[in-house]
Chains A and B, each alone.
Chain A
Amino acid sequence: MSVVTLTVNGQDVAVPAGASLLEATRAAAAGVPTLCHLDGLTPVAACRLCLVEVEGAGKLLPACSTAAAEGMVVRTHTPELGEFRRMAVELFFAEGNHVCAVCVANRHCELQDMAVTVGMDHSRFPYQYPHRAVDASHPQFTLDHNRCILCTRCVRVCDEIEGAHVWDIGSRGGQCHIVAGLDEPWGQVEACTSCGKCVEVCPTGALFRNVDTTAEKHPDTSLPALLRSAREQHRWRNQ
């Protein structure tokens, strides 16, 4: 197995060839924040929180979807990056309708946690209050677009792990939203196996079980990595 060596925050790290910059920063215990990334799913660099400085790159690079390369000099926590990350989280809050106090995911929400991580004590951007729908057509689950941050974890877990590909992104720009099937009510999409993986990996309260009410969602985001290692390496949780 070939290895690449690089520097993260002044620390030398070695990772297998093909590893991502995110894995390299983890080898240095740098604590790069992530929101759309989930181990076991293909990285898409949607949330921009894992942006890092790479010397000579000329622009900030998303650690999750950039391959670690020999000799890279990486910085993960400059004042500029800290400011950009806080702005990104404030924009997430401002562009959706996130009301933590009455959310099903209160206290188990990665966006809520990320606000703490980046030190967001208020949003400097005015809240947009966009008109967004709630799809409660599925007998077991609900999709509340008000709380969706378009991380696409649901899209990827359904496609890559469950193999059903129920979810996609529709429209563009500020109109972007998750669509079920061919933009149908979720409950009418025959491809859905009701496995619930999308609900488990959703970082916010956008996807939840109908039986859960305020602060009752307890997601399990470890599922994709567990299922992938079970399938590809035949390693199971109890082994």
Chain B
Amino acid sequence: MVSSPITPPGSPAAPAAGAGAGAGKLRLATVWLAGCSGCHMSFLDLDEFLFDLAAQVEVVFSPVASDAKVYPENVDVCLVEGAVANVDNLELALQLRARTALVVSFGDCAVTANVPGLRNLLDAGHDSARAVLERGYLELADGSGQLPFAPGIVPELLDKVLPLHEVIPVDLYLPGCPPSADRIKEAITPLLAGVRPVLEGPDLLRFG
């Protein structure tokens, strides 16, 4: 595989491995925005490679491998699953961008908005939040429907579901619904060595 050094835009040209604070271990985060968690399930499908990975990285934030509730500083690599669909997604996306050297759009929802983005069809994305809520909670209800209203508890939907790169700069794209475990491994392994993987061909690049 051809590789080039990791030089994410807007960050120091330091290699990812060991760039974080503390020991030489790469600080890895995974984030779950508006997606089905299938990309994370595929990540867990790495099976025994997870042991190798655990030996080489420190997982500092992840819905499947960490109890941290606040996204930490000085993260080297972050895999971001899911589109940006609500205010919580947006806040976390901005936060992780500010605190991460290399951000990976992890799976089709992050790369294209994919299935979560289908609600944009309801009103050409202008106010699909209202349209999708009315569709789900009123039009399809059995007569007792009501719109959810819980300010400060349930995050407000954004007018339009967006792919990650329309919200923050993204350094690497890993498409797939989900990306297969093999594809994830092919992308991660060079990153552990501080080099950016070149993702080409149907095994590594295909949508869907």
Show the binding face of A for B, using Cβ within 8 Å.
93, 97, 99-103, 106-107, 109, 112-113, 115-116, 119-123, 126-131, 215
Contact across chains for A115 and B115 when beta carbons are under 8 A apart: no
Q: Mark B180-208, 1 if CB is under 8 A from A, else 0.
A: 00000000000000000001111001111
Show the binding face of B for A, using Cβ within 8 Å.
105, 108, 111-115, 117-118, 120-121, 124-125, 163, 165-166, 170, 173, 175, 177, 199-202, 205-208
* Residues in A whose Cβ lies below 8 Å from that of B117: 99, 127, 129
- Shortest C-beta distance, A128 to chain B (Å), equals 8
Which residue from A119, A127, A128 sits with its C-beta under 8 Å from B112?
A127
A126–B112 Cα distance when bound, in Å, is 9
**Contact A101:B208 (CB < 8 A) given known A116-B201, A121-B199, A122-B111:** yes
* Residues in B whose Cβ lies below 8 Å from that of A126: 166
A106–B165 Cα distance when bound, in Å, is 24
A109–B206 Cα distance when bound, in Å, is 11
A103–B5 Cα distance when bound, in Å, is 36
Contact across chains for A122 and B105 when beta carbons are under 8 A apart: yes
* Residues in A whose Cβ lies below 8 Å from that of B120: 127, 129
Contact across chains for A113 and B202 when beta carbons are under 8 A apart: yes
Please name 21 pairs of A and B residues whose Cβ atoms are closer than 8 Å in the assembled complex, sorted by A.
A97-B121, A99-B112, A100-B206, A101-B108, A106-B208, A112-B207, A113-B202, A116-B201, A116-B205, A116-B206, A122-B112, A122-B175, A123-B112, A126-B166, A127-B113, A127-B120, A127-B163, A129-B125, A131-B121, A131-B124, A215-B208
Which residue from B114, B175, B201 sits with its C-beta under 8 Å from A99?
B114
- Shortest C-beta distance, B193 to chain A (Å), equals 21
Contact across chains for A101 and B177 when beta carbons are under 8 A apart: yes
A118–B115 Cα distance when bound, in Å, is 24
- Shortest C-beta distance, A118 to chain B (Å), equals 10
* Residues in A whose Cβ lies below 8 Å from that of B208: 100-101, 103, 106-107, 109, 112, 215
A224–B46 Cα distance when bound, in Å, is 44
Q: Taking A101-B114, A127-B112, A127-B113 as given, write out 16 further A-B residue pairs in contact, using a Cβ cutoff of 8 Å, ordered by the A residue number.
A: A99-B115, A100-B177, A100-B207, A101-B115, A106-B208, A112-B208, A115-B206, A116-B201, A120-B205, A121-B111, A121-B175, A121-B205, A122-B111, A122-B165, A127-B120, A129-B121
Contact across chains for A102 and B115 when beta carbons are under 8 A apart: yes
* Residues in B whose Cβ lies below 8 Å from that of A112: 206-208
Contact across chains for B202 and A116 when beta carbons are under 8 A apart: yes
* Residues in B whose Cβ lies below 8 Å from that of A115: 205-207
Which of B105, B113, B173, B206 has the most CB atoms of chain A within a 10 A radius of its CB?
B206
- Closest A residue to B164 using CB positions: A122
A170–B125 Cα distance when bound, in Å, is 25
- Closest B residue to A214 using CB positions: B208
* Residues in A whose Cβ lies below 8 Å from that of B118: 97, 99
A100–B208 Cα distance when bound, in Å, is 5
A93–B114 Cα distance when bound, in Å, is 11
* Residues in B whose Cβ lies below 8 Å from that of A93: 112
- Shortest C-beta distance, A3 to chain B (Å), equals 37
